[in-house]
Amino acid sequence: MSYSQVLLATKKVNIAYNSLLPFNFENDKDFVSQFTIASPVSFSGIGLHTGKLVHVKLVPAPIGTGIVFCRTDANHIKIPAHYKNVVDTSLSTVIASSAYPDIKIGTIEHLMSALAGHQINNIIIECNGPEIPVLDGSSAKFSSLLSQVGRHVLYAIKPALKIMKTIRVHYKDAYAELSPSPKKILSLSLSIDFPASIIGKQKFDMDLTSKNFEKEIAFCRTFTFKEEIDNLHKMGLAKGGSLQNAIVVDNNTILNPEGLYCSNEFVKHKMLDAIGDLSLIGYPIYGKFSGYKSGHKLNNQLLHALMKDDDAWSFHALNYQNIGKQNKQSAIIQLNQYPQKQEA
Ligand SMILES: [Zn+2]
Number of domains in the chain: 1
DSSP 253-288: EE-STT--SSTTHHHHHHHHHHHHHHHTTSS-EEEE
CA-closest candidate to residue 213, choices 185, 174, 244, 248: 185
CB neighbours of residue 191 within 10 Å: 16
The CATH code of the domain that includes 281 is 3.30.1700.10
pLDDT at 338: 31
Please report which helix (H) or strand (E) contains residue 259, including its range. none
CA of 319 from ligand 1 middle (Å) equals: 37
pLDDT at 333: 33
Would you call 161 helix, strand, or coil by DSSP?
strand
Contact between 190 and 267 under an 8 Å Cβ cutoff? The reply is yes
pLDDT at 200: 92
Please report which helix (H) or strand (E) contains residue 248, including its range. strand 247-250
CA of 270 from ligand 1 middle (Å) equals: 6
pLDDT at 315: 83
User: Mean pLDDT for each consecutive 10-residue tract of the chain (344 residues)?
Assistant: 52 48 41 85 90 94 93 97 95 93 96 96 96 95 95 83 96 97 95 92 96 96 89 79 88 91 96 97 95 96 96 72 38 35 26
Contact between 61 and 151 under an 8 Å Cβ cutoff? The reply is no
CA of 230 from ligand 1 middle (Å) equals: 19
pLDDT at 31: 53
CB neighbours of residue 268 within 10 Å: 23
- Which active-site residues does the annotation give? 296
CA of 106: how far to CAs of 149, 197, 309, 337, in Å?
24, 31, 28, 28
For 154, half-sphere exposure in the C-beta direction (CA atoms, 13 angstrom radius) is: 30
Pairing of strands 253-254, 247-250: antiparallel
CA of 62 from ligand 1 middle (Å) equals: 29
Beta-carbon neighbours within 5 Å of ion ligand 1: 222, 273
pLDDT at 32: 64
Q: In DSSP terms, which residues pair with 160 in a beta bridge?
A: 316
pLDDT at 230: 84
Question: What residue spans of 86-139 are helical by DSSP H?
Answer: 109-117
pTM: 0.84
Domain enclosing residue 278, as ranges: 3-343
**Cα–Cα dist 297/109, whole Å:** 12
CA of 298 from ligand 1 middle (Å) equals: 14
What end-to-end distance do the CA atoms of the chain give, in Å?
A: 12
CA of 60 from ligand 1 middle (Å) equals: 25
CA of 208 from ligand 1 middle (Å) equals: 17
CA of 91 from ligand 1 middle (Å) equals: 9
DSSP 283-312: S-EEEEEEEES--HHHHHHHHHHHHH-GGG
**Cα–Cα dist 114/43, whole Å:** 14
